[in-house]
Structure 1
Amino acid sequence: MTRPLLHDYYRSSAAYRVRIALNLKGVEYDRHSVNLAEGAQKSAEYRALNAHGLVPMLEIDGLKLTQSLSIIMYLASRFPDPPLLPEDPGDAAHVRGMALSIACDIHPLNNLRVLKYLKGELGHDQDAVDAWYRHWIEAGLAPLEAVAAPRAGAFLFGDAPTIADICLVPQLYNARRFDVPLEAYPTLLRADTNASEMDAFAAAHPDRQEIPA
Structure 2
Amino acid sequence: MKLYTFFRSGTSHRLRIALNLKGLSYDQVAVDLRREEHLAQAFKAIHPQQFVPVLDTEDRLMIQSPAIIEWLEERHRDPPLLPSDAAERAQVRALAAIVGCDIHPVNNRRILEALRHRFAADEAAINDWCGTWIGAGFDAIEALLASDRRRGDFCFGNHPTLADVYLVPQVESARRFKVDMARWPRVQAVDAACGQLDAFRQAAPAAQPDAG
TM range (shorter): over 0.9
The aligned residue for residue 77 of structure 2 is: 80
The residue identity in structure 2 corresponding to 1:156 is C
Root-mean-square deviation (CA, aligned residues, Å) is 1.2
The aligned residue for residue 192 of structure 1 is: 191
| Structure 1: distance between partners of 2:46 and 2:178 | 36
| Structure 1: distance between partners of 2:3 and 2:146 | 34
- What is the Cα deviation at residue 123 of structure 1? 1.3
| Structure 1: distance between partners of 2:157 and 2:188 | 14
The aligned residue for residue 168 of structure 2 is: 169
The residue identity in structure 2 corresponding to 1:56 is P
Question: Matched residue pairs, number?
Answer: 210
Q: 1:98–1:148: 8 Å Cα contact kept in structure 2?
A: no
TM-score of the two chains, using structure 2 as the length reference = 0.96
Following TM superposition, the consecutive aligned residue runs of length 4 or more in structure 1 with deviations greater than 3 angstroms are none
Task: For residue 3 of structure 2, give the secondary structure of its aligned residue in structure 1.
Answer: strand
**CA gap 1:212/1:40 in 2 versus in 1, 3 angstroms:** farther
Q: 2:127–2:178: 8 Å Cα contact kept in structure 1?
A: no
The residue identity in structure 2 corresponding to 1:170 is P
The aligned residue for residue 205 of structure 1 is: 204
- What is the Cα deviation at residue 113 of structure 1? 1.1
The aligned residue for residue 132 of structure 2 is: 135
- What is the Cα deviation at residue 148 of structure 1? 2.2
The aligned residue for residue 42 of structure 2 is: 45
Gaps of 5+ in 1: none
14, 17, 38: which one aligns with 1:20: 17
The aligned residue for residue 179 of structure 1 is: 178
141, 144, 162: which one aligns with 2:141: 144
| Structure 2: distance between partners of 1:89 and 1:148 | 19
Gaps of 5+ in 2: none
**CA gap 1:88/1:56 in 2 versus in 1, 3 angstroms:** same
